[in-house]
Amino acid sequence: MTLLDTDYLQNKCKKKIANNRYLFTCLALLTVGGMPEKSYALASPDDTIRPYVASSLLYDSNFLRLSDSVNPVLVTGKSDKSEFIKQITAGIDTDWTVSRQHIIVKANVNQNWFQNFTALNYTGWDTQAQWNWHIKSNLDGHIGYANIQTMGGFGQLNQLIGNIQNNQRSFADGGYLFHPNGKINLGIFRTELQYHQISRKISNNIEDNAEITLQYLSPTGSILGMRLLATDGQYPNRQLAADSTLDNAYTRMNYAAIWDWHASSKTRINGLIGYTYQDYTHFSNLNFADIIADLSLNWQASTKTLLELSTRRLVTQANNQYASFVLTQGVWFSLNFQYTPKIILKLPISYQQQQYLGGATNPIYGQQKDNVGSIGLNLMYYPWRSISIGSILKYENRDSNNYQASYGSQSAGVNLQAEF
């Protein structure tokens, strides 16, 4: 058995870590970025409904990501930049398979308390429903909706301000296997990002997307294809004026070659290379076009060791009031080691460069550019089949041409989850 193929990891790690989304919500408070992949396996008949409770305690030495050149008293009224976050979570995961139809419903609610910045206390949730449908042997697809309320990170804000955000996503797609080795997929989805704080509502965003993908399916399980993604976006709360520096509407086109290559039983290489073009409706000087790429290598070095390496050059939404998007390029590496069937260690390391787009240009430093590096150590322990204990350590540092955006932080956390 390998680290990825053991029944224990399939039935415990994936379920617990995926269900442990409350932990990633808190981790988002301590770190910037991070995009866990979602993966669902068919549940066994006796494991269809899984309620759980969880509790976590997280510490961050510089929660608001303040620069050493900034006096925290002037920003927060307090001299202490650190924060302890306590969270309790209750949730339930359901997983039904009826004939060839697969239905997934997940929901949890979490309460978060802040020891230093108590005004940030909030209630969050994570809900989603998805139907993986199949008709005959050549038609399949997905229909679903997700609603997540959490607190966004402060890496791009660097100030004490309410940053509660609600993310909604509704989607529908379908694929037609027109040949044993050929498949076409069509999909539409809408994303809505809404902030609670009045001063943050200027960043509320809605995107309507349409996607078409043509794939070649090899007999060995590898996939090669072409994808076209068209996006129509708007910021409904941005009112344009003569002195406006931010637009309120745009269109974006993404063209990409995609692949998922199973090079061997131990090696998998997947990703995309393409081109993106964003056209703003009113301010053409904000338009940008660039090459995008997302390449990943997974290597099962031994039965206990998995190495993951990825490099990315992507344009994503910015989380501040002065730019609409950020171009991120960098390298992410992770060493995963299964010490025993009950103990898993993970060592994540990353380095990335960030350039902000679609906003005002500062007369001193121009467009903000950052270099961000981080290293961490994660431990997962499963003393019993229904109990998991996790701990994290992380160091992060950012150097920026905007001296007020440079910072360093250390974080640590522990969580306990029990299933019923």
Q: Which residues lie closer than 8 Å to 337 by C-beta, 6 or more apart?
A: 304, 305, 306, 344, 345, 346, 347
The percent of residues in the chain predicted with pLDDT above 70, rounded, is: 87
For the stretch 91-109, pLDDT in tens is 999 999 998 999 999 999 9
Amino acid at 61: S
Amino acid at 143: I
420 domain residue, yes or no = no
390 domain residue, yes or no = yes
- Rounded to a whole number, what is the distance in angstroms from the first to the last CA of the chain? 28
292 domain residue, yes or no = yes
Identify the domain containing residue 277 by its residue range: 92-108+127-405
CATH number for the domain that contains residue 390:
2.40.160
Considering the chain, what is the average pLDDT of its residues?
Answer: 88
Q: What is the mean pLDDT of residues 2-11?
A: 41
Task: Report whether pLDDT(45) > 80.
Answer: no
309 and 296 in contact (C-beta within 8 Å)? yes
Structure tokens at 215: 């794939």
pTM (global) more than 0.75? yes
Structure tokens at 63: 């929660």
- Confidence (pLDDT) at 16: 39
84 domain residue, yes or no = no
Q: Distance between CA 154 and CA 398 in Å, rounded?
A: 13
Task: Report whether pLDDT(249) > 90.
Answer: yes
Choose the weakest-confidence range: 250-259, 365-374, 384-393.
365-374
Structure tokens at 151: 């607190």
182 domain residue, yes or no = yes
For the stretch 344-353, pLDDT in tens is 999 999 999 9
193 and 203 in contact (C-beta within 8 Å)? yes
Task: Report whether pLDDT(295) > 90.
Answer: yes
- Confidence (pLDDT) at 244: 85
Number of domains in the chain: 1
Backbone angles phi, psi at 361, to 5 degrees: -105, 120
385 domain residue, yes or no = yes
291 domain residue, yes or no = yes
Task: Report whether pLDDT(268) > 90.
Answer: yes
379 domain residue, yes or no = yes
Backbone angles phi, psi at 316, to 5 degrees: -130, 170
- Residue of 337, 323, 336 whose CA lies nearest to 370: 323
